[in-house]
Structure 1
Amino acid sequence: MEITDSENETIFPLGNRGPENWFSGEVHVQTLVSPEQIEGLYTVGQVTFSAGGRTYWHTHPIGQVLLVIEGKGWYQERGKPAQVLQKGTVVAIPKEVEHWHGASADHKMVHIAVSNIADGNSVTWKTPVTGDEYAEVNKQ
Structure 2
Amino acid sequence: MIIKRSEAQESIAGPAGYFTGEARIEPIHLEAREPSRVTSALVTFEPRARSNWHRHPLGQLLIITSGTGWTQIEGGERVEVREGDSVWCPPGQKHWHGATATTAMSHIAIQEELDGKNVEWLEPVSDEQYQQP
Q: TM-score, normalised by structure 1?
A: 0.85
Alignment of 1:25-104 (within 5 A): 25-37=21-33, 39-104=35-100
Cα offset for 1:38?
5.7
Asked if the contact 1:61/1:122 (under 8 Å) is kept, the reply is: yes
RMSD: 1.6
Superposed structure 1 runs of 4+ greater than 6 Å apart: none
- Range moving further from structure 2, 28-37 or 41-50: 28-37
Listed as ranges, the gaps of 5+ residues in structure 2 are: 1-5
Alignment of 1:114-133 (within 5 A): 114-133=110-129
Asked if the contact 2:10/2:27 (under 8 Å) is kept, the reply is: no
Asked if the contact 1:14/1:48 (under 8 Å) is kept, the reply is: no
Which residue of 18, 23, 27 corresponds with 2:19? 23
Asked if the contact 1:14/1:28 (under 8 Å) is kept, the reply is: no
Percent identity between matched residues is: 34
Aligned residues: 127
Q: Deviations over 1:23-66 (max 9, x none)?
A: 00000001101324464501010000000010000000000000
